[in-house]
Structures are given as C-alpha cells and as structure tokens.
A and B are shown apart, each in its own frame.
Chain A
Amino acid sequence: MTTTSSGQPLIVMDRVNKHFGSLHVLRDVDLTVDRGEVVVVIGPSGSGKSTLCRSINRLEPIDSGEIRFDGQPLPAEGRALARLRSEVGMVFQSFNLFAHRTVLENVMLGPVKVRKEKPAAVRERALALLERVGIANQADKYPAQLSGGQQQRAAIARALAMQPKAMLFDEPTSALDPEMVGEVLDVMTSLAADGMTMIVVTHEMGFARHAANRVVFMADGQLVEQAPPAEFFTNPRSDRAKDFLSKILTH
C-alpha cells in the first residue's frame, strides 16, 4: 500500500550532527518527513539509526544543526520540551511499560497527568485503543504478566493515547520472539494505512517493502540513500546499500 504523503513537512532535520565522545554518530543528517508519510530507516548496526530516531523527541540532544517539528524548532528543555514530546509518540525496543502499573493505567497515565483530561473519558479511549491493538482482555494485568508481543502492542496503545502527530518506532520488534513479530507489525501496518506519520527503525524488510512510502538507508552516521521501497530493494544505487542488501536478502 502506498498512501501518498501530503507534501507538508512535519519533521525536518537540517544538517544535524551528534557525537558520543569521539564517535561521530550523526553526520550532517538532512531528512524531511511529510505529514502522513511512513519512513523506514534501515542500515547496519551502529549506523546511527536509533540515535536519529531518538533525537527527534530529544531523548538524545544533538550537537549542531536544527530539528523542527510541525514548524517549530525543538525546545531545549523544560515544559516546552515535555509538551513537544507529548505530541510525538515513541515505541522502544524494550517496550518500557511502567512496571508498577497495569496495562490500562499505562495507557491512561499520559492523557490524565500530561493533558489533564478527565479519567473517565480517557478510560473509554484507552480501552478502545487496547481493543484496537487486540489486548483489551489484558487491560488489568501488569506488564510482566504479558508476552513480549502483547507488551509492545500495549506500548503502542500508550503512545497513541496521547493522540500524537507522529510516531517514532525504535526497533520495535527486535526484542521479540519470532512468532510475535507479526502481531506487532500488523498493528503498525494498520496505523500506517490510517495515515499516521511514522519513522520506523527496523530490520523487518517485509514491513519496509509493503508499508513504507520511503526507505532511508544509513551507514556510519550518514544518510546514504533514500528511495521508495520498490526502487530501493530492486535497484539500490550506492555500493553500501548493495552490500547491506546482499547480506540480508540472500538467506
């Protein structure tokens, strides 16, 4: 499916640089993601994919360059930054559900405490979201009682409860047992089909092929190549991308 993007930029990264000590993890990264667009970021490990994803809601501060979200530069800290983060959903590799709260409480916490919405209304929405990701019957369990796939779907529901303008997925299926990858990707695919703006760091080439509008290939902190998935997978231009694809697609 190729839901066409709107042509209105939502996330803009402009000559972004980031170092971890002497390691240059993001090198002059320029990336624009339009409203409704689904961008899948792939590349070898250590290429800076996760850092790129995490810099967009400033879980990783950048050293130079600029990131704009919905027309505004990212606030440095404080309440303005918290507000921005509430508009950008994030899904982590290790789920990071709040361990001391039930699934339903996990989903409700943000809207109730950040947006000060009425708990009764939030509860309805939260249950509907849990229904949507297929775990409504797990609402009153604690995260540790759920399988990995269920936890990750709960985490997606938690992010969606904030009604975000965009969703960031940082290797959402990498910590899952193989048989649970599908159920999480299904949820993500349906989100993409509904027009959510998404940046997805993943190794799931199948998801990239069928759900992405654009594939971005990263290596050594640089955006090496970007193209629609059909074009990227059949006809990669750069040697790095050809090399990477030959390693992952041959078996």
Chain B
Amino acid sequence: MNVLVDRFDVFAGGFWLTLQICILAGIGALLIGTIMAVLRISPVAPLRAVGTAYVTVFRNVPLTVVLFFSAFGLPALGSNARFLDVPGLNVVFSRLGTDLPYFRFAVLGLCLYTGAFVCEALRSGVNAVAPGQAEAARAIGLTFTQSLRYVILPQAWKSAVVPLGSVIIAMIKNSALAGFFGVVGDLSQTADSLVSADGLPLIPVFIGISIGYLIMTVPLGILLDRVERRVATR
C-alpha cells in the first residue's frame, strides 16, 4: 500500500485535474440545463421543441458516444473547442489554454451530456411548484420570464436540489471516462498509466483512485443533505 504514499503527488495531480473537469463541466451543465429547462416550459411551441429535442438526444445517447464525437468528431469538423479557452478562466484552469484540446473536449462532452439530466431535474422541480403560484404571478402582471425568475424557479430549487445532486454526483463519476478520450493526467488515466506503464500493483492503485473520487462525491452528498434539510424547514 505504500504506492499511495510514494506516488502521492501523482494521485494528487490526478485528483486536481479531475476536480477541474468536474467544476467546469458542472457549471456548464447547470447553465445548459437551466436554459433547456426554460425552453421546455416556455409558452412558445418551437422553443419547447428545441428543448425537447436536446434532452431526447443527449439523454438517450451513451456518454461514451458523446465523448467520442466530442474528441474525434469536432476535430474532423475543424473545431478545437477553442471557445472554451475563456480569458480569466484559463488562469485557474490552465489546461483550457493548452494546445492539446482533449481537456476541452472532455469538458464539452460532459457538460452537453449532463445538461440534459440537469434540465429534467429542474423541470421536475418546476412541476412540483403548485400551479396557483404561476397563476398568481401572472395575475399581478409579471411576464413569463419574471414569474419564472421571482416566483417559480426559487421554489423549484427546493424540490430539484436532491435529483440535481444525484445528477452532479453521477457526472463526477462519469468524468472517469475522459481519461479514455485523450485527457492525460486525470484520476482514471493516472490509474491506467500507474498500472500498465509503471507496473504498479493494481489493487492499491485502484483503492487510491477510488479514494480520490470519494473525496469529491461524499462531501457533496453530505452538503446536499444539509441544503435539503435547510430548504425544507423554510
């Protein structure tokens, strides 16, 4: 088991990179999911259709396929996902700015995929808000966007927070696939290279990697329980 101690820096590096992927993809997925959820509940039929189409595609295609298209389809179309190299953001997340685009591809694939699930979690929260709330909002003259912003969404969060947490935890674990689509140095690719390239014993390495994922998912789960209890008592 002294692999964990001897190679601690490698594990720590893998953890940090996976954490970066998850933070970026998480933010992206929440943004995409919120936009899609608003589209899906909008009063305009074509917008609803766009939201529905998005969810249908990304919820039903395996993540491996989404990442495959992201990592090999985008370059074939001539894109290196450079638009993710956002000034400022690339200071903290330095991999966004590197020439090797696989970090960006992984973030993109993961947030496109997870966005569909975020959308549905939010929508279930919106459906849980009593219909009278929306009627009252309209009756005092709030527009559709205003009633979403000031009345519906703040209440939808309460019932969405638990499914949303599950979606994000699933996303953290899904990020392990990124190591198989060109990302070098995240937790899963680290495990692969420690075992097959450096010839280290499999079981301790995988225990180390598992601990890395648990450090991200378990506190998140505890935090979500807290949040849930807090919003429930209000």
Contacts and interface: CB of A to CB of B under 8 A. Distances in A.
Interface of A: 57, 59, 77-79, 82-90, 92, 94-100, 109-110, 113-114, 142, 155, 158-159, 162
A99 B133 contact: yes
Interface of B: 43, 130, 132-133, 135-143, 146, 150-151, 154-155, 234
B234 A85 contact: no
6 contacts: A82-B141, A85-B140, A96-B136, A100-B155, A114-B141, A114-B146
A114 B135 contact: no
Given A83-B141, A113-B150, 14 more contacts: A59-B135, A85-B139, A85-B141, A86-B141, A90-B139, A90-B140, A92-B132, A96-B132, A97-B136, A100-B154, A114-B140, A159-B140, A162-B140, A162-B141
| Chain B interface main SS type | helix
A95 B132 CA distance: 8
Contacts, number: 70
| Chain A interface main SS type | mixed
A99 B142 CA distance: 16
Contacts of B143: 78-79, 82
A226 to B, nearest CB: 26
A137 B81 CA distance: 57
Contacts of B140: 85-86, 90, 109-110, 114, 158-159, 162
Contact of A85 (B138, B151, B155): B138
Contacts of B43: 77
A113 B145 CA distance: 11
Contact of A59 (B130, B138, B151, B154): B138
